[in-house]
């Protein structure tokens, strides 16, 4: 099979503390060649406060860096994936930043869940360390959240994300990086209260190795080397012991910010937030009884890159989404075969009406996934099960491979697969742009008809003949066997109003 060259790809990791850029290309050998890398401390999540609002100054810093990163990516003619994590994920005014990034910089930002962040971190780690055959616990201390990932043989077994990071903890307990006995004790109690549930939930797993990846852990490793009069030539794969972590922590806590630079060799941009970060590292080390910690220099940004260039574990992200949606459907839908057939019929309608709705391949994928998941709310009750499906999709930890926006669209399509049509009375629909409201309405309209065409759950409709004219869309279901399709025709016709209104065509269905 002839090698198909891909354009270089730029991964932009928009974190709470810093923003990273990594541009790389896939070589014919299957390896990934790094073309350039950048890191800038933007402190996007600083001073968010209890209101969880990004400050204007932080937004301006982030946009300035993003503009520079886009120029670099463009110089390589690279496609761009810009992924935002904790600070943007939690900010009440995140839409301000996301919209300005698109309007002023031309970069579309995707926010991801903590669970999806964990999956991508793991994708990066397994490219950096030879740990495929080991059962590993990976943790990544960020500015606003910390992710814990359990994995074995390339497969993620469990992910937990907690809303603790070096910036959040420093802001709360160590203003300007200053530590007192009281602030240390209070931060330790606070951190342990979060870690207790994580330890309990992950206690079903044993680990061959524990891996840490983040700027905090790298800084601590360099600090330990500095204190020992050494220099770490290669951070990736280096090990630090629990005793070394505790020793470094004591040094950090007993110094002020000015002393830390001279005596600990800390980077200027990490001096004031190391207190929060090392407090968290100490408590993680104690909680999970870590003797030695292996460091990975690869994390989220590398995971994004490999995910986009190669696909997770050699699979495309599209397939990963489908695998996870299918698994959830089988777990929670008492008739997953019906959902699968509805998905097939919905795709047929989508393809044969594409000249009208003009939606793309990603929209088709979201339609398929919505069809697979639309009935999972039945596991709670039949009454209002479309609303239950919406909630379960929105809050499931099983749907890795999705951005926050994609999960929201899939959940809304499932929400509107029956009963009331999409309207601004549903707050999550009201928040969508006009284009995304149109997207949800078209896909929910198609899904409704597809559901009607399998009314008896017998999968007797094999294909659909569709004819489009200036004023009408005529659908003719085709049976796989000689069967009376009158019930399917009636049910689909009863469900056709939403799509007819959205596309401005009369829909006629007859066998």
pLDDT digits (tens, 9 = 90+) for 65-110: 999 999 999 999 999 999 999 999 999 999 999 999 999 999 999 9
- Both 141 and 96 in a single domain? no
Specify burial of residue 232 (Cβ count, 10 A radius: 0-12, 13-18, 19+). middle
Q: Is the pLDDT of residue 324 over 90?
A: no
Q: In what order do the strands lie in the sheet with 472-479?
A: 461-468, 472-479, 506-509
Whole-angstrom distance, CA of residue 406 vs CA of residue 325: 13
Confidence of residue 317 (pLDDT cuts 50, 70, 90): low
Whole-angstrom distance, CA of residue 339 vs CA of residue 377: 13
pLDDT at 41: 93
Phi-psi region of 106 (alpha: psi -120 to 50; beta: other; left: phi over 0): left
3-state secondary structure of 313: helix
- Both 370 and 346 in a single domain? yes
Question: How many percent of the chain have pLDDT more than 70?
Answer: 96
Specify burial of residue 420 (Cβ count, 10 A radius: 0-12, 13-18, 19+). exposed
Establish if 171 belongs to a structural domain: yes
**Would you say 136 and 208 are in contact if contact means Cβ atoms under 8 Å apart?**
yes
Establish if 2 belongs to a structural domain: no
End residue of a domain, out of 305, 328, 343:
305
Higher pLDDT, 374 or 317: 374
Helix, strand, coil tally for the chain in percent (to 5) = 50, 15, 30
Q: Is the pLDDT of residue 2 over 50?
A: no
Show the beta-strand stretches assigned E in 163-315. Answer: 209-212, 239-241, 292-295
Q: Is the dihedral of CA 130, 132, 135, 139 positive or negative?
A: positive
- Both 86 and 32 in a single domain? yes
How many Cα atoms sit within 13 Å of 234 on the Cβ side? Answer: 6
3-state secondary structure of 43: coil
pLDDT at 319: 67
The structure tokens listed for 62 are 């982030």
Q: Is the pLDDT of residue 3 over 70?
A: no
In the chain, count H helices and then E strands: 21, 14
pLDDT in tens, 114-172: 889 999 999 999 888 888 889 999 999 999 999 999 999 888 999 999 999 999 999 99
pLDDT in tens, 121-132: 999 998 888 888
Establish if 1 belongs to a structural domain: no
Q: How many domains does the chain have?
A: 3
- Both 260 and 141 in a single domain? yes
Neighbours of 354 (CB within 10 A): 13
- Both 395 and 252 in a single domain? no
Which residue range(s) make up the domain with 30? 9-111
The per-residue DSSP string of 397-449 comes to S--TT--HHHHHHHHHHHHTSSSSPP-TTSHHHHTS-HHHHHHHHHHHHHHHH
Establish if 237 belongs to a structural domain: yes
> What is the rounded radius of gyration, in angstroms, for the C-alpha atoms of the chain?
25
pLDDT in tens, 402-415: 888 899 999 999 99
What mean pLDDT value characterizes the chain? 92
pLDDT at 323: 81
Establish if 3 belongs to a structural domain: no
CATH number of the domain to which 92 belongs: 3.30.420.40
User: b or e along 29-42 (b: 16 or more beta carbons within 10 Å of the residue's beta carbon)?
Assistant: eeebeebeeebbbb
Whole-angstrom distance, CA of residue 229 vs CA of residue 87: 36
Q: Is the pLDDT of residue 316 over 80?
A: no
Whole-angstrom distance, CA of residue 387 vs CA of residue 389: 5
Confidence of residue 312 (pLDDT cuts 50, 70, 90): low
- Both 343 and 490 in a single domain? yes
End residue of a domain, out of 91, 111, 131:
111
Establish if 491 belongs to a structural domain: yes
Confidence of residue 27 (pLDDT cuts 50, 70, 90): confident
Q: CA–CA distance from 220 to each of 42, 238, 271, 282 (Å)?
A: 20, 12, 11, 11
- Both 47 and 130 in a single domain? no
The structure tokens listed for 357 are 């709705």
Site of tokens 């590398």? 302
pLDDT at 314: 47
- Both 107 and 131 in a single domain? no
- Both 378 and 415 in a single domain? yes
pLDDT at 504: 97
- Both 432 and 464 in a single domain? yes
- Both 90 and 75 in a single domain? yes
Establish if 377 belongs to a structural domain: yes
Establish if 4 belongs to a structural domain: no
Query: H/E element holding 121?
Result: helix 114-128
End residue of a domain, out of 305, 324, 344:
305
CATH number of the domain to which 383 belongs: 1.10.3210.10
Whole-angstrom distance, CA of residue 502 vs CA of residue 511: 24
- Both 119 and 268 in a single domain? yes
| Angle in degrees, 0-180, between the axes of helices 242-254 and 215-227, rounded to the nearest 10 | 90
Question: How many percent of the chain have pLDDT more than 90?
Answer: 77
**Would you say 429 and 409 are in contact if contact means Cβ atoms under 8 Å apart?**
no
CATH number of the domain to which 150 belongs: 3.30.420.150
């Amino acid at each position: 099979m002839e090698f198909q060259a891909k354009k270089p790809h730029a991964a932009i990791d928009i974190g709470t503390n810093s923003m990273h850029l990594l541009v790389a290309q896939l070589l014919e050998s299957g390896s990934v060649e790094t073309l350039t890398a950048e890191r800038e401390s933007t402190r996007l999540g600083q001073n968010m406060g209890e209101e969880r609002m990004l400050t204007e100054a932080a937004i301006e810093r982030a946009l300035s860096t993003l503009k520079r990163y886009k120029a670099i990516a463009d110089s390589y003619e690279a496609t761009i994936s810009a992924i935002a994590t904790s600070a943007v994920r939690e900010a009440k005014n995140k839409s301000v930043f996301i919209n300005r990034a698109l309007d002023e910089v031309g970069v579309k930002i995707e926010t991801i869940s903590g669970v999806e962040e964990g999956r991508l971190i793991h994708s990066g780690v397994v490219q950096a360390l030879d740990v495929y055959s080991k059962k590993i616990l990976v943790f990544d201390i960020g500015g606003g959240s910390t992710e814990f990932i359990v994995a074995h043989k390339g497969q993620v077994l469990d992910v937990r994300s907690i809303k603790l990071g070096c910036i959040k903890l420093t802001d709360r307990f160590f203003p300007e990086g200053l530590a007192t006995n009281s602030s240390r004790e209070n931060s330790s109690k606070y951190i342990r209260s979060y870690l207790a549930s994580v330890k309990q939930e992950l206690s079903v797993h044993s680990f061959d190795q524990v891996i840490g990846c983040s700027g905090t852990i790298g800084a601590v490793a360099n600090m330990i080397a500095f204190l020992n009069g050494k220099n770490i030539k290669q951070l990736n794969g280096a090990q630090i012991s629990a005793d070394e972590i505790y020793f470094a922590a004591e040094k950090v806590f007993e110094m002020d910010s000015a002393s830390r630079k001279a005596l600990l060799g800390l980077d200027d941009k990490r001096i004031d937030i190391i207190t929060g970060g090392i407090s968290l590292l100490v408590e993680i080390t104690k909680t999970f009884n870590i003797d030695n910690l292996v460091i990975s220099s690869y994390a989220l940004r590398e995971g994004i890159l490999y995910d986009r260039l190669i696909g997770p574990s050699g699979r495309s992200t599209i397939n990963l989404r489908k695998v996870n949606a299918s698994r959830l459907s089988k777990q929670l839908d008492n008739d997953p075969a019906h959902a699968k057939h509805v998905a097939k019929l919905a795709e047929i309608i989508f393809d044969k009406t594409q000249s009208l709705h003009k939606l793309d391949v990603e929209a088709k994928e979201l339609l398929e996934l919505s069809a697979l998941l639309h009935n999972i709310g039945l596991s709670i009750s039949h009454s209002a099960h479309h609303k239950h499906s919406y909630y379960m999709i929105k809050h499931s930890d099983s749907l890795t491979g999705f951005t926050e926006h994609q999960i929201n669209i899939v959940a809304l399509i499932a929400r509107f697969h029956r009963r009331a049509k999409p309207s601004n009375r549903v707050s999550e629909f009201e928040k969508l742009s006009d284009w995304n409201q149109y997207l949800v309405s078209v896909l929910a309209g198609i899904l409704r008809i597809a559901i009607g065409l399998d009314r008896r759950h017998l999968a007797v409709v094999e294909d659909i003949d569709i004819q489009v004219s200036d004023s009408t869309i005529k659908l003719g279901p085709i049976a796989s066997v000689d069967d009376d399709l009158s019930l399917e025709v009636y049910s689909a016709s009863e469900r056709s109003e939403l799509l007819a209104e959205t596309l401005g065509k009369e829909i006629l269905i007859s066998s």
